[in-house]
């Protein structure tokens, strides 16, 4: 996701790419970052640089949805020091990560 897309309002308030539903959700995970909770540690970027970037000092997903079973995304959520990243099954809403 580019800064232009962010400026165009394609991200919702929780850092999720808005407007991606149904047909893209089969076999996919949704990635959200609570930018109010995020402290900008960059651990997610180190673990999954193809999926996260730091923008204005906070994490932002670069890809959403992601293919089901993308281990780097789940690892990034599991290792976030403030649990700002959540990964859900796009079809069921089941929380995949972080492991609580």
**Structural domains of the chain ordered from first start:** 3-97 (3.30.70.20)
For the segment 67-96, the average pLDDT, to the nearest whole number, is: 97
Count of beta carbons in the 10 Å neighbourhood of residue 74 = 21
Is 62:1 a contact under the CB 8 Å cutoff?
yes
- Work out the pLDDT band at 7, boundaries 50, 70, 90: very low
CA distance 83 to 19: 24
pLDDT of residue 66: 96
pLDDT at 69 over 70: yes
- CA atoms of 60 and 62, how far apart (whole Å): 6
Q: Distance between CA 82 and CA 44 in Å, rounded?
A: 11
Mean pLDDT estimate for the chain: 83
Q: What is the pLDDT of residue 34?
A: 98
Q: Could you read off the pLDDT of 20-43 as tens digits, one per residue?
A: 444 445 699 999 999 999 999 999
């Amino acid at each position: 996701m580019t800064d232009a897309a962010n400026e165009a309002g394609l991200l919702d308030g929780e850092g999720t790419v808005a407007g991606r539903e149904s047909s893209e959700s089969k076999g996919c995970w949704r990635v959200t970052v609570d930018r109010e909770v995020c402290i900008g540690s960059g651990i997610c970027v180190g673990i999954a640089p193809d999926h996260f970037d730091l923008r204005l000092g906070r994490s932002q997903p670069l890809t959403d949805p992601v293919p089901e079973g993308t281990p780097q995304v789940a690892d990034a959520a599991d290792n976030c020091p403030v649990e700002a990243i959540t990964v859900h099954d796009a079809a069921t809403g089941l929380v995949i990560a972080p492991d609580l």
